Every structure is written in structure tokens, then in C-alpha cells.
Amino acid sequence: MAEDLLHTRFAPYVAKTGEEYMNEAQLAHFRNMLETLKRELLQDIERTVHTMQDEATVFADPNDRASQESDIALELRNRDRERKLVKKIDETLERIERTEYGYCESCGVEIGLKRLEARPTATLCIDCKTLEELREKQVAK
């Protein structure tokens, strides 16, 4: 997935001693990561559209046709997931512009650089995310 590419392309941001949280350098680092991820995702989406148009073959054998349709369905599910991630990236870039990035939407505490490196679109601190997941599990039962 494109997020995996981020971790090989970008070295984690290392905060200097006494450095203010979510200063301009940190915001620029995360903005760059998010814009790169978005660009990669949009290229993948466009490449998939072109590939699907080029490979639109009608197979006489029902097994070949079923296999092709299964491949297309899987590809479309992946692209839909990536489309949702692009939307989340856009929302995150807006949070950076509003200087709200890096702070939990629920409780307002710092999310933390390490968590943001792992998931740059995170909007909740680890404690609030854990509580949210516990609530989801309880409702699902």
C-alpha cells in the first residue's frame, strides 16, 4: 500500500531537545509526507482505470471470465479504499492549515510524533483511539 512507501521514503522526524510540538518544521515534514502519499494514490487510481480499459477482454470460457471479474472486483475494492484515504488526507491537510494537526480531536492532547509517523492521518491520541475501539467491540457483540 502507498502508506508503506512513506516509511521507506521518509526518515522519521527527530525532534530536537526543547523543540516546540508541531512547529513549522514538523508541520512541513508531515505535509510533505501526506502530499506524497496523496500523489502516489492518485497515480495508482489513474493507472488502474487505464489498465482496466486496456484489458477489457471478453472471454468465451466462463472460468476465465469469472477470474477476470473477480480480479476487477478486488482491484475496485482496493481503489475505493484508497479513494477514502485520499479524502482523509485532504481533511488532514486542512487540519494542518488550520494549525489543528497533531492534537486529539476528542481530548485535545498531543497525539505524538511517533504515532503520526506511523499513521499521519491520525486524529485521536492513543488513549481515545483505544476507548473508541473498545466501544466498537461492545456495540458489535
pLDDT, tens digit (0-9, with 9 covering 90-100), for 84-137: 999 999 999 999 999 999 999 999 999 999 999 999 999 999 999 999 999 999
User: Confidence band (pLDDT; 50, 70, 90) for 9?
Assistant: confident
Q: Which residues contact 4 (CB under 8 A, 6 or more apart)?
A: none
Q: Is 92 inside a domain boundary?
A: yes
Q: Which three cell numbers stand for residue 53?
A: 480499459
Residue 133: how many CB atoms within 10 A of its CB? Answer: 11
Q: Is 133 inside a domain boundary?
A: no
For the domain that residue 75 is a member of, what is the CATH number? 1.20.120.910
Q: Is 74 inside a domain boundary?
A: yes
Contact of 109 with 103, CB cutoff 8 Å: yes
**Least confident piece of the model among 1-5, 41-45, 71-75, 113-117:** 1-5
- For residue 99, the model assigns a pLDDT of 93
| First-residue to last-residue Cα distance in the chain | 31
pLDDT for 17-27, tens place per residue? 999 999 999 99
- For residue 61, the model assigns a pLDDT of 77
Query: What is the identity of the amino acid at 75?
Result: E
pLDDT above 70 for 57: no
Cα Rg, the chain, nearest whole Å = 19
Domain around 50: 2-101
Q: Is 75 inside a domain boundary?
A: yes
Q: Number of structural domains, the chain?
A: 1
Does the pTM surpass 0.75? The reply is: yes
pLDDT above 60 for 1: no
Q: Is 54 inside a domain boundary?
A: yes
Question: Which one, of 124, 85, 91, 93, lies nearest residue 5 by Cα?
Answer: 85
Residue pointed to by grid coordinates 475501539: 133
Query: What is the identity of the amino acid at 78?
Result: N
